[in-house]
Every structure is written in structure tokens, then in C-alpha cells.
Amino acid sequence: MISELEKRSGAYTPYSAFNNKFGFLANLVKLTPDQIRDRAKNLVDCYPNDIEKSIVEELVHFAEFLKTCDNCSPISMLACIRKQNLQCVYPNVNVALRIYHCNFVTNCTGERSFLKLKHIKSELRTTMTQERLNALSLLSIESDLLNDLCFDEVLLEFSKAKVRKMPF
């Protein structure tokens, strides 16, 4: 049990690094302007192509604006910006919050894919070649697309190609 807990805690180091970059957004109202500036500068250093340096003062101003709001969670911050049409006032805050929210989705998809592969590989490892295993794992991962396909035409073509009857 201890080794499993250590293995799982080691898997969360990317989350702690991500939390070091974006975690201050959840406590924006509680931070002082100097603390906000320091952490915003760190965020700009991590994402120089996406977030401009003007986010430093935008976040200080946005923190004061948030004191008038009821809920200060990151998702409600993004909803507030969109609902009140403040994307032009806080463009970099909007981008930072969108990056913050989109990152977990992409991570979950990757983890789900590896989890599927682990289940498939453990059950069928001894009887399957690598090519067939890759194809099956891809079908399993993309099962939502697979459910929308119509197999009637595929089966018809397959049956025509694999006809084994010999005419006499």
C-alpha cells in the first residue's frame, strides 16, 4: 500500500508545478497587490507567447473588481468576464483563465488513453501482436467515434472480398 501511495504521489508532481503557476488565481482576492504582481510575473515568464506583461496590473485591478462579486472561484471568474463582456478590459486575465481551465481536460484525455491501453494490454498481451494491439487500443480510445460508424457497408465489402466458395 505504501509503495502504491508513493507511486501515485509521484504522478502528481506535474499538478504541483501547474499549481505553482496558476494556483494563486483561486485566492486572488486574499492576496496583496505585491504578491499578485510577483506571481503574475512568474506566469508571464512561463507563457511569454500567450500572456503579455500587462497582465500584472490587469490582475491587480481584477482582484479589486472581484471583491464586489459573490463567488471568486476561477470558473466563476471566467464566467463573470464573459457575462459582463469584459474580455477587452481584461484580455490577458481571460487568456490565463482559459489556459488554466483547458489544461486539465487535455491531461485527463491522455490519462484515460493510457488507462485503456493498460487494460487492453494486460488482458490480451500474450495472444496479440503489437500492430493488432495498437489498432485495438485506438478503437477503444476513440470509442465515441466508433459508435457513430455504420458497419453495414464495411461488412458487405469484407464478405465480397473474402468469399471462399469456388464455382463449379
Cell triple for 43: 506566469
Nearest Cα to Cα of residue 62 among 34, 100, 36, 83: 36
142-163 pLDDT, tens digit per residue, is: 777 777 777 777 778 777 776 6
Show me where the domains of the chain are located.
12-168
- Return mean pLDDT, the chain: 77
50-83 pLDDT, tens digit per residue, is: 888 999 999 999 999 988 887 788 888 888 888 8
CA distances from 72 to 62, 86, 148, 154 (A): 11, 16, 40, 53
